[in-house]
């Protein structure tokens, strides 16, 4: 087979055609598109602004919610001392004995440190208390 | 060159803009059409890409620094638009760029806006086997008959490199056509 040489061949055209009058209408089409583009230009900026303000609003709302969420967690988990005391003394069925049962050595040591009883008071109590013997024998 | 500067001024001035853009369109629509058509191959796609090219030219005109000629700047936009279009279309169809081009060439036979015969189809098939840069150089040199200097400005390469590219392209095409 004879080797094909591009330069020996007559010029090969692309063979591409365009529709009739294509170029007559083309510039009008582009000009219209360009002018539309000019007019529409306002909208994207407005849209962008709208999106931006929505975003800001969302961020502000979230920021405002942070302390509420934190507080909610605090109140739900940790009871403050007053509430606990009120509950224990008025609402529960716990009596002194139940409480004493729950005390360990460390608590008792703490208690003896805090409650400094003078000797006289102790004598008074011992003298006035009729059940003292019963307590001692226990 | 001063004429060109003046023309660009007219394109930017809102008062003369429309008339100047009209002139730009009538001067460049045909060469740019051929350039894009050679890359994307079918008429409808060329029509889309050509419109986008002119819209982009219009939008970016204010950024045109005049470092290169208006002519090569517009060709560069057209080339980018056409290549981007091809890649997007290939991706959309799940094909490689080469497979898409081969498919388009097969469809050319039935295209009403194509009156080539066997040799044209064979030449197009041979071009598809080349690397992208060589394809561009070959099409611009052989079909559009642009000067090496012009192609160099459009593609941003040296004339020497272009000549080598064209030479390689011609060799590969001749081998392909001979053996097919």
- Do B125 and B42 reside in the same domain of the chain? no
Mean pLDDT by 10 residues, chain B (180 residues): 81 86 91 94 93 92 83 93 93 88 85 85 91 94 94 93 94 90
Among candidates A29, A13, A17, which has minimal Cα distance to B42?
Answer: A17
Distance from CA of A30 to the nearest CA of B (A): 6
Distance from CA of A61 to the nearest CA of B (A): 39
Q: Which of A81-90, A103-112, A129-138, B158-167 has the highest mean pLDDT?
A: B158-167
B102 inside domain: no
- Closest-CA residue of B relative to A24 is B26
- Do B84 and B120 reside in the same domain of the chain? no
**Domain count of the fold of chain B:** 2
Among candidates A48, A88, A120, A17, which has minimal Cα distance to B34?
Answer: A17
Note whether B174 contacts A12, CB cutoff 8 Å.
Answer: no
pLDDT tens, position by position, A36-91? 877 665 555 566 778 888 999 999 999 998 888 887 766 555 667 788 778 777 76
For residue A51, the model assigns a pLDDT of 84
- Do B136 and B90 reside in the same domain of the chain? no
pTM score, whole prediction: 0.67
B105 inside domain: no
**Rounded CA gap, B76 and B46, in Å?**
15
ipTM field: 0.79
- Do B1 and B75 reside in the same domain of the chain? yes
Q: In this structure, what token pair is assigned to residue A84?
A: 């606990």
Q: Which residue's structure tokens are 């050509």?
A: B50
B104 inside domain: no
| B63 in A contact zone (CB under 8 Å) | no
For residue A50, the model assigns a pLDDT of 81
Q: In this structure, what token pair is assigned to residue A23?
A: 């170029």
For residue B73, the model assigns a pLDDT of 92
Which of A4, A17, A34 shows the shortest C-beta gap to B114? A17
> How far apart, in Å, are the Cα atoms of B97 and each of A119, B32, B34, B132?
104, 21, 20, 10
- Closest-CA residue of B relative to A10 is B119
> How far apart, in Å, are the Cα atoms of A113 and each of A97, A123, B130?
21, 19, 97
Give helix then strand counts, H and E, for chain B: 9, 0
| B96 in A contact zone (CB under 8 Å) | no
| B58 in A contact zone (CB under 8 Å) | yes
| B62 in A contact zone (CB under 8 Å) | no
B145 inside domain: yes
For residue A113, the model assigns a pLDDT of 74
Domain interval for residue B61: 1-94
The enclosing domain of B140 has a CATH number of 1.10.10.10
For residue A76, the model assigns a pLDDT of 56
In a mutagenesis test of the B interface, which of A13, A14, A27, A40 is the best target, namely the one with the most B β-carbons within 10 Å? Answer: A14
Contact residues on chain B for A29, CB-CB shorter than 8 A = 51
> How far apart, in Å, are the Cα atoms of B176 and each of A31, B32, B69, B173, B179?
43, 28, 36, 5, 5
Q: Which residue's structure tokens are 């593609």?
A: B155
Q: At what angle do helices B159-179 and B118-128 cross, to 10 degrees?
A: 120
């Amino acid at each position: 087979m004879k080797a094909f040489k591009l330069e020996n061949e007559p010029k090969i055209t692309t063979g591409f055609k365009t529709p009739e009058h294509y170029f007559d209408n083309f510039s009008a089409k582009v000009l219209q598109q360009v002018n539309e583009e000019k007019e529409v230009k306002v909208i994207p900026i407005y849209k962008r602004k709208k999106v931006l303000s929505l975003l800001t609003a969302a961020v502000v709302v979230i920021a405002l919610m942070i302390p509420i969420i934190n507080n909610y967690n605090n109140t739900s988990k940790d009871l403050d001392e007053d509430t606990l005391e009120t509950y224990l003394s008025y609402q529960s069925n716990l009596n002194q004995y139940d409480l004493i049962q729950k005390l360990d050595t460390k608590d008792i040591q703490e208690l003896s440190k805090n409650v400094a009883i003078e000797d006289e008071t102790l004598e008074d109590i011992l003298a006035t208390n009729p059940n003292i013997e019963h307590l001692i024998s226990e | 060159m001063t004429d060109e500067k003046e023309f660009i001024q007219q394109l930017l001035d809102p008062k003369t803009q429309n008339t100047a853009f009209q002139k730009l369109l009538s001067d460049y629509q045909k060469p740019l059409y051929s350039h894009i058509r050679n890359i994307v191959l079918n008429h409808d796609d060329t029509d889309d890409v050509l419109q986008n090219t002119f819209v982009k030219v219009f939008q970016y005109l204010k950024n045109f620094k005049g470092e290169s000629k208006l002519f090569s700047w517009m060709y560069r936009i057209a080339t980018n638009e056409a290549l981007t279009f091809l890649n997007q279309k290939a991706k959309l169809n799940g094909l490689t760029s080469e497979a898409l081009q081969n498919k388009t060439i097969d469809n050319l036979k039935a295209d009403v806006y194509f009156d080539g015969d066997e040799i044209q189809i064979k030449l197009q098939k041979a071009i598809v086997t080349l690397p992208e840069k060589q394809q561009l150089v070959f099409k611009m040199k052989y079909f559009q008959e642009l000067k090496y200097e012009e192609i160099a400005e459009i593609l941003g390469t040296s004339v020497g490199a272009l000549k080598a590219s064209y030479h390689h392209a011609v060799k590969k095409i001749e081998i392909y056509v001979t053996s097919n």
